[in-house]
Amino acid sequence: MSFLTRTYPFKQSKHLLKDSSIFGFIIWVILYFLQPFEFCLYQGNKCFVAALFGLITFGCHATYAATILKYLHQTIKPWRIWHEGVAILGLIFIIAFGNFLLFSYLFHYTITFSLFLLFLNWTIIIGIFLTTLSIGMQYNRTLRERMEELLRNTTKEQEEVSITIHDTNVRGNDLSIAINDLLYMEAQKNNVSVCFLKEGNVVAVDIHTTLTHALEELKEFENIFQCHRSFAVNVNNITSARGNSNGYQLTLGNCTNIIPVSRRFVPKLKTYLT
């Protein structure tokens, strides 16, 4: 029960027509290409009929989201996980009812409660897939928005800040750069490869030190984050993050290298994004 009463972590989507179009298109694809629920037995224009069901799904989703769901989000605060669950069930019911009426009209079936329950069962089966897709879209959209917000805020705060990574060799050269130019550091045997931006280009310099020592020197900067036993990144410059609780893959700035986030560092990464 405590899980259901937690605040729902994602905002209501502002891409109403786009999301509705995606769901409607998926319904058309499922019916036309997979032909479930004995749709394969229909001898008429399957493409047209599948498109009609997709159009009804589009209309029901758009209308529900623009009216009922919008009103609920405005009046219920905070929006909790169980609220989202009930809202999804309501959406499935509306879509099932709309497609049920279309089905009865097209195939001349008598409208009965038992037939509606059968249609509701079909909609729930497809709805599980659509709900999973919806949550995935919301997650990626929210992650991207939080990344952009994090980048704007911390980069501006540190515009004049420089950092120095010391070379432990007696005759080694220390590296001093603006913190906003730092992309990531990678441990390589007895050296640390520091990847940063120089005049807009990605440059890598090897410093004779350890990643632990370098992180100790930079411990006052919260945006320098160790994401793997061999990598540390500047979260200011993360441009994308893909993955799940088992691990992420990061890209930074205009660097083409993919930086791994190992499983034990994922909880810390999420603190930057919430």
Complete domains list, the chain, with CATH: 16-154 (no CATH), 161-273 (2.40.50.1020)
Give me the mean pLDDT over the 138-144 stretch.
Answer: 70
**For residues 79-92, average pLDDT:** 85
User: One-letter amino acid identity for 210?
Assistant: T
Residues 189-222 as b/e (b if ≥16 CB within 10 A, e otherwise) read eebbbbbbbeeeeeeebbbebebeebbeebeebe
Residue 139 has pLDDT above 80, yes or no: no
pLDDT in tens, 151-205: 665 556 666 788 999 998 877 789 999 988 999 999 998 899 999 998 889 999 9
Distance of alpha carbon 146 from alpha carbon 142, whole angstroms: 6
176 or 10, which is more confident? 176
Q: Percent of the chain, pLDDT > 90?
A: 31
Torsion angles phi and psi, residue 170, rounded to 5 = -60, -40
- For residue 258, the model assigns a pLDDT of 93
pLDDT of residue 57: 92
pLDDT of residue 121: 86
Q: Work out the mean pLDDT of the chain and round it to a whole number.
A: 84
Q: Give the start-end residues of each E strand in the chain.
A: 162-165, 175-178, 182-188, 191-198, 201-207, 224-228, 231-234, 238-244, 247-252, 259-261
User: Counting every residue, how long is the chain?
Assistant: 274
Is 90 exceeded by the pLDDT of residue 216? yes
Model confidence, pTM: 0.57
The 10 Å Cβ neighbour count of residue 18 is 11
- State the average pLDDT over residues 104-129: 84
Tokens of 269: 């990464």
Question: Which has the higher per-residue pLDDT, 183 or 119?
Answer: 183
pLDDT at 260: 93
